[in-house]
Amino acid sequence: MNNHIYIFSGLGADERVFQKLDFAGLSVTFIKWITPQKNESIENYATRLLSQIKTTKPILIGLSFGGMMAIEVAKQIDTEKVIVIASAKTKKEIPYYYRVAGQLKIHTLLPTSILKKPNFIANWFFGAIGSFDKHLLKIILRDTDPVFLNWAIDKVVRWKNKTKLKNLIHIHGTADRLLPVRFIHCDFKINNAGHFMTLNNAEELNKLIRELL
């Protein structure tokens, strides 16, 4: 497998959420989130991320919101394979209550300060179980750019994508609370895995990714 791998982290997160996965021996680049422009579309944002992709026919791996961005990027370039983890492939896989909130713009009423504060609700939704997971989630929330956070949440709840990529593989956890598996049509399920599966289900996920690559 000679293709370069580009990894898109979750909403506001970075490569720290992949620290328990083994990419030894592989050519990997972690895509860096950039500050969105005012009222920027998700399609235009994906276009601006293309400057970080230096190879042809890359393999893209995206976690959560990063999976959605990997799909938007893959709609603009030729890719070898796209793997999304704990994510959604089209707008129909975004839970209806998020889409309703997007239509009514309810999400715009939530203060960013509340979203960035770690609490038991955030730990429950993300599936942060142990002290390590909770501490990392706390740091990620603290470090998240509030401008990017507000923009990305808006793009999730108002995502319009209908394109179904032919070379896409979807991995999802049966215990995901942010994107419940009942709304998802995935290729592989990891039992009892939540949204933080790259950390607390790393061994099983790592084995599966290696097989897919």
- How confident is the model at residue 77, as a pLDDT? 97
HSE at residue 192, side-chain half, CA atoms within 13 A, is 5
d(C-alpha 44, C-alpha 114), whole Å: 28
| Percent residues over pLDDT 90 in the chain | 62
pLDDT in tens, 54-91: 999 999 999 999 999 999 999 999 999 999 999 999 99
Per-residue pLDDT at 139: 75
Assess whether pLDDT exceeds 70 at residue 125: no
Residue 105 pLDDT more than 70?
A: yes
Determine the Cα–Cα distance for residues 184 and 141; give it in Å rounded to an integer.
26
Report the topology of domain 5-212.
Answer: Rossmann fold (3.40.50)
**Is residue 6 helix, strand or coil?**
strand
Q: Which of 87-126 are b and which e, b meaning 16 or more Cβ less than 10 Å from the residue's Cβ?
A: bbbbbebbbeebbebbeeeebeeeeeeebbebeeebbebb
What integer pLDDT is reported at residue 116 of this predicted model?
63
Residue of 123 and 28 predicted with greater confidence:
28
Q: List, in order, residues 6 or more apart from 15 with CB less than 8 Å away.
A: 7, 9, 30
| CB contact set of 211 (below 8 Å; sequence gap of 6+) | none
- CA distances 132 to 8, 72, 178, 198, Å, are 22, 32, 20, 13
124 pLDDT band (50/70/90 cuts)? low
**Domain boundaries, given as residue ranges, for the chain:** 5-212
What value, to the nearest 5°, has the Cα angle with vertex 149 and ends 143 and 155?
Answer: 155
